[in-house]
């Protein structure tokens, strides 16, 4: 069954019939497996990756590292839930290292992200500190190369 999910992860537009042809699993079984995975929330969402810059609609992205005090009995889960409910927080991860949470934040401008961090995120009672890294250029997202696909151009090294 893993083959079904690997195929869908690469291309969510595949039909059960196409997946059946690729894997040899009967189409009816593919449909049944997909429906069950959707009900069980093993499949959470079908996603299209859009290169907004090519369409002239740019967004500003930032990676925000957040240091928090874990809460007794719930650890980091309660503060993570408060943060992931903000629409600006596109992804929230518990991470190892100097900071506890890594948050991908999107906005229309750098100022919009700055306001979110300073007025919504940083004031939360268990947040001890934040570090914001603005994403300057995306090269690859969710396994898809966004920029041209040309090889890396390097100048030859001469003595």
Q: What is the pLDDT of residues 107-143, one digit of tens each?
A: 999 999 999 999 999 999 999 999 999 999 888 888 8
**How confident is the model at residue 95, as a pLDDT?**
97
> Higher-confidence residue: 48 or 69?
69
pLDDT, one tens digit per residue, over 18-49 is: 999 999 999 999 999 999 999 999 999 998 88
**How confident is the model at residue 49, as a pLDDT?**
81
pTM for the predicted model, two decimal places: 0.78
Work out the pLDDT band at 150, boundaries 50, 70, 90: low
The count of other CB atoms within 10 Å of the CB of residue 89 is: 20
Q: 């992860």: which residue's tokens? A: 9
Total count of residues recorded for the chain:
159
Q: Is the pLDDT of residue 153 over 70?
A: no
Work out the pLDDT band at 148, boundaries 50, 70, 90: low
Of 148, 140, 143, residue with least CA distance to 54: 148
Rounded-to-integer distance, Cα 32 and Cα 45, Å = 17
pLDDT, one tens digit per residue, over 73-100 is: 989 999 999 999 999 999 999 999 999 9
């Amino acid at each position: 069954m893993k083959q079904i999910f690997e195929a869908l992860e690469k291309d969510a537009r595949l039909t059960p019939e196409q997946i059946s042809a690729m894997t040899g699993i009967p189409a009816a079984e593919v449909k049944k497996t997909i429906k069950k995975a959707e009900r069980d929330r093993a499949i959470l969402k079908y996603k299209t990756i859009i290169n907004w810059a090519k369409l002239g609609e740019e967004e500003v992205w930032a990676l925000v590292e957040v240091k928090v005090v874990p809460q007794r009995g719930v650890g980091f889960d309660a503060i993570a839930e408060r943060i992931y409910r903000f629409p600006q927080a596109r992804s929230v991860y518990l991470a190892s290292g100097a900071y506890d949470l890594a948050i991908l934040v999107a906005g229309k401008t750098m100022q919009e992200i700055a306001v979110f961090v300073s007025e919504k995120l940083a004031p939360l009672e268990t947040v001890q500190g934040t570090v914001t890294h603005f994403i300057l250029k995306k090269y690859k997202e969710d396994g898809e190369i966004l920029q041209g696909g040309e090889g890396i151009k390097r100048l030859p090294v001469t003595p």
